[in-house]
Amino acid sequence: MNTPIIPQTQAIEFVRKVARDDSTQGWRVAEIEALLQLPFADLLYRAQQIHREHFDPNAVQLSTLLSIKTGGCSEDCGYCPQSAFHNAGVENKKMLDVSEVVKAAKAAQDAGADRFCMGAAWREPSEEDMAAVVEMVKEVRALGMETCATLGMLSDEQTEQLRAAGLDYYNHNLDTTPEFYGNIISTRDYQDRLDTLERVRKAGMHVCSGGIVGMGESLTQRAGLIAQLANMNPYPESVPINNLVKVEGTPLADQAEIDPLDFVRTIAVARITMPTARVRLSAGRQQMSDAVQALCFLAGANSIFYGEQLLTTGNPEVERDRALMDKLGMYPFADKH
């Protein structure tokens, strides 16, 4: 799907609107859709202005993600090879031992990562699961790293357990807009996701929440996802933007590719609508050229998943990431702070 371009006069009107940065009013879907349709140079110019107002434009935050429990998930997310509903060849494995997780975290830290994310393939953690995860969080935090977990839905008691353990961020993606959600997932309601995020906020932890583009959504639906995120009060501190990784055996395996420049536009609009968030260039980066990744950084992305693996799909190797950062004159956020 190629993004249509709105007329120059309308483009100027919307650039002026976002320049006012009126945070007292929420973002309407129509406004975000219009931003997505700005001339490419105008859109990136405004995104870069906002990025520079709040961040060092050459610093990137490095996170490493480890799957602590792989496969056998009881959710039917159409993009996910870990779902028990799909035949994507992902083995259902038991949860890793705490020692294995700490070893992986130390290796990630030695490679330059400053945040360590632990992901589990289940609908929600059991009491036994939580006891192990709490210990993992404590041990990883003791290394001096920021901690993040993505464990599915949480209860009030579970969010309090994670907060007490010292968890910094909880990831729970909205995936897409409410209007398109039923096309992708049937085992969980959209409100379930919102309720978990509300519990995370109430417990006092930072929110990491984003979505996936390229799943067949319309431009309006893509704008709707960003509106959902940007209109949270407050919006997430960390916003991962994923480009669908098509995995054989999942319902979305034959989905058409999103235009790379449309993906860059999504990054730019996330930056404009959520000025102080860490906008993370996430899944799908392995398939992107260095040039597309560079445009994403120019558009306001300032966080990446760093390492060889993203749960069950590949990720650019550390050496390739370092080489790209060197070419762009970029450096890890932790090196400057």
Identity at 162, one-letter amino acid code: L
CA atoms in the 13 A half-sphere facing the CB of 334: 13
- Helix (H) or strand (E) holding 328, with range, is helix 318-328
**Inter-CA distances, 303 with 62, 153, 208, 250, 285, Å:** 6, 25, 12, 28, 12
**Among this protein's residues, is 280 annotated catalytic?**
yes
Secondary structure of residue 62 in the 3-state scheme: strand
Question: DSSP characters for 255-297?
Answer: PPPPPHHHHHHHHHHHHHHSTTSEEEE-TTGGGS-HHHHHHHH
Contact between 223 and 36 (Cβ < 8 Å): yes
From 80, 199, 222, 278, active-site residue: 80
Name residue, tokens 């999942």: 250
From 73, 188, 271, 285, active-site residue: 73
From 46, 77, 278, 285, active-site residue: 77
From 115, 199, 222, 280, active-site residue: 280
Q: Who contacts 233 (Cβ-Cβ below 8 Å, separation ≥6)?
A: none
From 46, 148, 188, 278, active-site residue: 148
Give the separation between CA 283 and CA 175, rounded to whole angstroms: 12
Question: DSSP characters for 139-166?
Answer: HHHHTT-EEEEE-S---HHHHHHHHHHT
Q: Which two tokens stand for residue 66?
A: 């480890």
From 117, 199, 271, 285, active-site residue: 117
Name residue, tokens 């995020």: 197
From 115, 188, 193, 208, active-site residue: 208
**Among this protein's residues, is 296 annotated catalytic?**
no
**Among this protein's residues, is 73 annotated catalytic?**
yes
Instruction: Identify which of 79, 91, 70 has the alpha carbon closest to the alpha carbon of residue 250.
Output: 79
Catalytic residues: 73, 77, 80, 117, 148, 208, 280
